[in-house]
Amino acid sequence: MEVVVNYLCTILLSTTWNVSPDGDGSQSLVGALLKARSGDTILAAPGIYFPGTKRTDSFKLKKGLTLKGAGESSVLSGEIGNDGIEDNSYHVVIGAQNSTLVGFTITGGNANGQTIPTVKDALKKANQWPPTQSRGRSRQSFSEPQVDAKGGGMRNDGIVMTIEDCLFEYNNAIYGGGMYNTNEANITITNCKFIRNSAKEGGGMYNYNLSSPTIDSCVINTNTASRGGGMMNRYASSPTITNSQFVTNHATVHGGAICNDYGASPQIQNVAIWQNTSDGDGGGIFTDDTASQFGKTVPRITSCNFMDNIAANNGGAIANYNKCSPAIELSTFAKNEAKSGGAISNRLGATAQITQCEFFAKTDTVESNKQ
């Protein structure tokens, strides 16, 4: 007896969508994003694209989608209303799992929405301040800013994705002017620029709650914030930063280029940190281990060059506070300035491990064991 078995196979073929700024329907970027599926590619011609007409409108990527522009001439803009940023989109782009974003300028986002209580406020309310012990390296339920207050250029929540050859410029937020990564958002960012973004914290980028992007060959220049002019890392968010530069970023409180606290321990290698400034401490990098729920705050800084960074108070290049213990090795310091510790300041029990570093100017002093 002959047995015949029929198989029904459904093959989902990927689609390439071509869009332009004046395209209609699926030939517009908004339309193509609505119709595209995982595995599809959207190719955007040069020009300026807007996500809609409401502040809550964004370019929302889809799982497994590739969105590719023509370089910096393909512009994703949050400038949806009148001149000025007050009525701009809260977030220009919202990332998605396993998606890819390549070759765009992302500009004009303004995540200035309302915020809810700070971490310290939340712990006080729960009678857990100051913390008495580590709570482990797991997700915490502490308060964080409302969605519309974080990530003017781009917001990524709990995803893995890739971003290449993009410029994030002139975005604003309360947290993370250029980009906000949260809840284990581990983004691979290559050959990107974060320039002239601003925020209350994390002018160029804010990494929060176990979010540790891999950042290579990037430029983080001329961003401003109160803490972390170029980048803010908090709650065990420990990015790997290589072959990049932080130049002329400014903080009005701490960390002109980078600010680390609450267990954030970035790995920073072969990075130029030049001409950053702080009105407080840490013209280049500021690290604080106060009340870390995630264990020690231990950045590792290897083969970096610190030059012409200035802090009004302590740590022209690097300021370390409250029992943090960064490792600083094979790095050079030239013409950094501060009231105390022109190169490195260690205060309130901070113990930096300094190995095979070179200090070239009289102002590049190392200050230890200060209260």
User: pLDDT digit string (tens) for 68-86?
Assistant: 999 999 999 999 989 889 9
Instruction: For residue 115, name the pLDDT band (cuts at 50, 70, 90).
Output: low
Instruction: For residue 91, name the pLDDT band (cuts at 50, 70, 90).
Output: very high
Q: Give the domain ranges of the chain.
A: 110-370
Q: What is the mean pLDDT of residues 289-317?
A: 90
Sequence-distant (6+) residues with CB within 8 A of 125 are 117
Question: b/e per residue, 268-281, with b = 16+ CB within 10 A?
Answer: bbbbbbbbbbbbbb
pLDDT at 295 over 90: no
Q: Give me the residue label for tokens 């009231």.
A: 339
pLDDT at 8 over 60: no
Amino acid symbol at 52: G
pLDDT at 53 over 90: yes
Tell me what pLDDT residue 187 has: 98
How does pLDDT run across 328-367, given as a tens digit for each residue? 999 999 999 999 999 999 999 999 999 999 999 999 999 8
Q: What is the DSSP letter of 260?
A: E
φ and ψ at residue 351, rounded to 5 degrees? -135, 85
Q: Do the beta carbons of residue 304 and residue 337 sit within 8 Å? A: no
User: What are the DSSP calls for 84-118, one per residue?
Assistant: SSTTS-S-SEE--TT-EEES-EEE--EE-------
Instruction: For residue 13, name the pLDDT band (cuts at 50, 70, 90).
Output: confident
Q: Do the beta carbons of residue 176 and residue 146 sit within 8 Å? A: no
With a pLDDT cut of 90, the percent of the chain lying above it is 82
Tell me what pLDDT residue 290 has: 75
Q: What is the C-alpha separation between 365 and 343, in angstroms, rounded? A: 5
Tell me what pLDDT residue 127 has: 57
Q: Considering only CA atoms, which of 274, 261, 349, 277 is closest in space to residue 313? A: 277
pLDDT at 137 over 50: no
How does pLDDT run across 271-282, given as a tens digit for each residue? 999 999 999 999
Helix (H, G, I), strand (E, B) or coil at 247: strand
Q: Rounded mean pLDDT of the chain?
A: 90
User: What are the DSSP calls for 113-147, one per residue?
Assistant: ------HHHHHHHTT--S--S---SS--------G
The residues that bridge with 107 in the sheet, in sequence order, are: 77, 169
Residue 245, token pair as written in the block: 């530069």
Q: What is the DSSP letter of 290?
A: T
Q: What is the mean pLDDT of residues 154-177?
A: 98
Tell me what pLDDT residue 5 has: 46
Tell me what pLDDT residue 10 has: 42
With a pLDDT cut of 70, the percent of the chain lying above it is 87
Tell me what pLDDT residue 244 has: 98
Q: What's the pTM?
A: 0.90
- Within 13 A of 141's CA, how many CA atoms are on the CB side? 2
Q: Considering only CA atoms, which of 269, 279, 289 is closest in space to residue 309? A: 279
How does pLDDT run across 204-226, given as a tens digit for each residue? 999 999 999 999 999 999 999 99
Q: What is the C-alpha separation between 249 and 306, in angstroms, rounded? A: 13
pLDDT at 133 over 60: no
